[in-house]
Structure 1
Amino acid sequence: MTAYAIGNLRPPARVDEDVFVYMERIQSTLDSFGGRFLVHNQAVEIREGAWPEALVIIEFPAIEEARAWYASPAYQALIPLRTDHIAGDVVLVDGVGSDYDPGRTAAALRASAAA
């Protein structure tokens, strides 16, 4: 099942050279894990609540590849180039299958809450 790495980033007013190096090198860390950017440096249209300036979504074939990419020596070496200059949060998450039905999820939650 597809998995995602999602970054919720708050870039500074001035971007340091390290961030450019990070951006230039990150794709090479993704390639062997099947990772690809779905969203990167795109404007967000806020409809509810607040959101930081930058959203990043990277797709992986499965959560195992996402975990392996994040733990890889190549990516671990790049992380400080970003985190030393950009505050943010990064999560890894499984996607849902093509047969996902939120109604079934609601029914299961309702049954669990009633028990």
Structure 2
Amino acid sequence: MAAYIVFTRESTSDQAELDAYSKAVAPTFAGHPARILAAYGTQDVLEGTPPEGVVIVEFPTIEAARAWYDSPAYQTVVQHRWKGASYRAVIVQGV
């Protein structure tokens, strides 16, 4: 069953770190069955405080999503995202 990682950027603290992350993240998907469905597109906020941005990545299973997220390649790159902004990230299983 499909699973989705949803990233919401709440606030930016260091744009240079986010730029480093943006330049390095694409290769971390190599060998992982991922499909980016949304990435910082226009938002129409229905409830609550709007995040600065939203990214949704589809995987075939929760295990596949965790395999990418926990991979050494991504864990090296994600350090830049953590230094650059406050994010929320969640894996949600599809129906």
State the TM-score, normalizing by the size of structure 1. 0.75
Q: CA separation in 2, counterparts of 1:2 and 1:73?
A: 23
- The answer for unaligned runs of 5 or more in structure 2 is none
Which structure 2 residues correspond to residues 37-76 of structure 1 after superposition, within 5 A?
37-76=36-75
Q: Is the 1:44–1:53 contact (alpha carbons within 8 Å) kept by the matching residues of 2? A: no
- Residues 63 and 78 of structure 1, relative CA distance in 2, 3 Å threshold: same
Greater RCO (Cα-Cα under 8 Å, separation 6 or more): 2
Consecutive unaligned residues in structure 1, runs of 5 or more? 97-115
RMSD over aligned CA atoms reads 1.5
**2:65 partner SS:** helix
What amino acid is the match of 1:4?
Y
Match of 1:32, SS? coil
Structure 1 residues 7 and 69: alpha-carbon distance in aligned structure 2, compared to 1, 3 A threshold = same
Scaled by the length of structure 2, what TM-score is found?
A: 0.89
The one-letter amino acid of 1:15's match is Q
SS at match of 2:42: coil
Larger radius of gyration: 1
Contact 1:30 1:36 in 2 (8 A): no
Q: Percent identity?
A: 35
Structure 1 residues 73 and 14, CA gap change in structure 2 (3 angstroms): closer
Distance 1:30 1:95 in 2: 20
Question: How many Å separate the matches in 2 of 1:13 and 1:82?
Answer: 10
CA distance in 1, matches of 2:41, 2:65: 22
Distance (Å, rounded) in 2 between the aligned partners of 1:27 and 1:38: 14
